[in-house]
Amino acid sequence: MAEQAQTYNGYCVKCKEKRDFEGNVEVSKTGMNMAKGKCPVCGTTVNRILGKAKA
């Protein structure tokens, strides 16, 4: 089940700015949905918390 990448807006810690990035939804260890992708400017991993994962 491969998911399509979507565009999300998140804060890049390295650039210190909000950026739009292409990412996929993953479930973290704490059970939260998060969009994870790369910053288009510097290439650092950018995460955005989306909310609780449904069980």
pLDDT for residue 4: 73
Q: What domains are there in the chain, each with its CATH number?
A: 5-52 (2.20.25)
Distance between CA atoms of residues 18 and 34, nearest Å:
16
Distance between CA atoms of residues 20 and 8, nearest Å:
5
Distance between CA atoms of residues 4 and 53, nearest Å:
18
Q: Which residue has the higher pLDDT, 1 or 20?
A: 20
51 pLDDT band, cuts 50/70/90, is confident
Q: Largest Cα–Cα distance in the chain?
A: 35
**What is the tens place of the pLDDT at every residue in 3-43?**
677 899 999 999 999 999 999 999 989 889 999 999 999 99
Decide if pLDDT at 1 tops 70. no
Long-range contacts of 52-55 (CB under 8 A, 24+ apart): 53/27
pLDDT for residue 55: 60
